[in-house]
Amino acid sequence: MWNTTLWYLSAMVIVLAIYYNWSRRRMLALVANMNAPPALPLIGHSYLLLKFTSTEAIAREMRNLVQKYPSPLCIHLGPLPHIVLYEPEHMQVFLNSPHCLNKSLQYKFFLVDRGLFSAPASLWKGQRKILNFSFGPAIMNSHVSTLNQKSAMLAELMEKYVGQKERDFFHSIALCTLDTIYCTAFGCDFDLQRQPVGDLYLKLQAEYIDIVTRRVFNALFYPDFIYRLTNAYKKQLEIMDEGRLFISNIMSARNVDKVLSSPKTQPSKTENDDRKPQNFLDKLLELAQENTQLAKEDIPDHLYTMIFAGTDTTATTVSNVLLMLAVHQEIQERVYQEIMAVCPAKDQQVSVEDVAKLLYTEMVCKETLRLFPVAPVVARITTSDIQLDAKTTIPNNTTVVGAIYPMHRDPRHWGPDAEIFNPDNFLPELVAQRHPYAFIPFSGGPRNCIGVRYAWLSMKVMIAHILRKYRLKTSHTMDTIGIEYSIILKITGGCRISLEKRDHPTATQ
């Protein structure tokens, strides 16, 4: 009896698999000639990932694959094909296609489907167009004082570690970026660098990212009906419940319920000319009042998205920059001298004009983002066929992955020393010779990072405050630095540096 049942079940699975492949025969035909390693029945290439126990090992395997196989590379996770691209020309077509604006399935694992990060294109288009104004020059200028205040506080809090052994300052920097986002994007100053609630939020965020990362790298948990049976899903919901308290605090501090229940007032022309620029939450509330592109229930997803995007990514990049400066002492000295030439006074604010003059500092940041892009991949799902080049068509309803990390280290675009940290890679004459999509740390095309201008401003201000006060050192060398994939790319073991206090010269008046 048992043998008969098993036989019928096996036959049913085979028939379903044959039917499923038959129904996708056109898609499979289009991807059949793409480069790919050997695949196994049913699980495809999942075995390449399942055999590893760390994201660092997964990162190495993925890098080996893109070095071995030219773009485009077709990886099947279970029955689902993922087209991996890492040629600038391919990346440009992919990121600018109107048929490739929807984020891939994996973005839904964050459970914030209404925010800019993972919203469907139909919702994202209208919201993005209006929210862009919250990152324009006027609002950025209005944030400069806050960025300086919070960066100066970070530099002051770091002083207790002067002369101590190496440590990873990511947590301290993340508290600063979190504190700054609350002030600049939401208009709420909760002093998170000095209050324990900031530590709690970062702890929850780290746990949440770890859970989502594990699901991304395990295709067995992609189906919701399977994932919802796991302890990871229960833990994810628990963290979201705790996270809602932070969102509630923001909404309460800004009287969101009262604002949304009040009729929208139309300012006169004179009032409109002189009014204060709207921050991100202001613009969200305006949208919700108009009830055209946004409902009140969507606001938490946008707040979650902004907190994550403005905290972890910026903090990771600044931490990486500080490590690169500590490893390369001569480059650190050059950045320090540039900062002292532009804004030398110990307590001097770094203005927008000052930031624009920190050209070498920006080159150092870009070189750091080249070698260690915070978002190592971007992934979308096609809504129509996309002609990638003369020989290749990406079929409709297929996941496309832009592999930024290997492209940023490709010797064909960056020369034989592509693995070496060299800010001169971003000298204007070299940039002009390079394909514009060979360097895309903030993605590219219409669905790129909305906060690019904010990120550059906040990073430069923070680095200036830290370097004016401290000399950075580390025992690391470039050959001892490893990377691991999370939702964002991390340096293995953290960016461990030590601090020496600088003898600050008296500024020339």
User: How many C-beta atoms surround the C-beta of residue 92 within 10 A?
Assistant: 18
| Structure-token pair, residue 187 | 């208009």
What does the pLDDT look like over 347-361, one tens digit per residue? 889 999 999 999 999
**Whole-number Cα distances in Å, 449 to 116, 354, 439:** 9, 24, 14
User: H or E element: which one contains 399?
Assistant: strand 399-403
pTM: 0.92
| pLDDT category of residue 26 using cuts at 50, 70 and 90 | confident
pLDDT class for 14, splitting at 50, 70, 90? Answer: low
Q: What is the pLDDT of residue 271?
A: 41
Query: For 36-55, how does the pLDDT look when each residue is reduced to its tens digit (9 = 90+)?
Result: 888 887 778 877 776 666 66
Cβ count near 116 (within 10 Å): 20
The beta-carbon contacts of 200-204 under 8 Å, at least 24 apart in sequence, are 201/243, 201/246, 201/307, 202/171, 202/174, 202/175, 202/178, 202/311, 204/239, 204/242, 204/243
Q: Bigger pLDDT: 7 or 178?
A: 178
Q: By the 8 A CB rule, do 276 and 181 touch?
A: no
- Percent of the chain clearing pLDDT 90 (strictly above): 66
* Span of 166-170, 294-298, 318-322, 456-460 with lowest mean pLDDT: 294-298
Query: For residues 137 and 143, what is the distance between their CA atoms, to the nearest angstrom?
Result: 10
pLDDT of residue 270: 40
Domains and CATH numbers, the chain: 33-268+280-501 (1.10.630.10)
Q: What is the pLDDT of residue 127?
A: 85
Nearest to 314 by CA among 150, 470, 493: 150
Average pLDDT over residues 73-80: 85
> In whole numbers, what is the pLDDT of the chain averaged over residues?
89
Of 65-69, 339-343, 425-429, the least confident: 65-69
User: pLDDT higher for 43 or 280?
Assistant: 280
* H or E element at residue 360: helix 359-371
What is the arithmetic mean of pLDDT over 456-472? Answer: 97
Mean pLDDT of 245-266: 85
Give the chain's length. Answer: 509
Instruction: Write the pLDDT tens digit of every residue in 365-424.
Output: 999 999 999 999 999 999 999 999 988 999 999 999 999 999 999 999 999 999 999 999
Q: Read off the pLDDT of residues 112-162 as tens digits, 9 standing for 90 and up.
A: 988 888 999 998 988 888 888 889 899 999 999 999 999 999 999 999 999
pLDDT over threshold 60, residue 507:
no
pLDDT computed for residue 57 by the predictor: 75
17-45 burial, b for 16+ CB within 10 Å, e for fewer?
eeeeeeebeebbebbeebebeebeeebbb
User: Considering only CA atoms, which of 30, 58, 27 is closest in space to residue 45?
Assistant: 58
Q: Which residue has the tokens 């890679």?
A: 425
- The C-alpha atoms of residue 315 and residue 441 are separated, in whole angstroms, by 15
- Find residue 501's DSSP bridge partners: 470
User: pLDDT digits over 177-213, tens only?
Assistant: 999 999 999 999 999 999 999 999 999 999 999 999 8
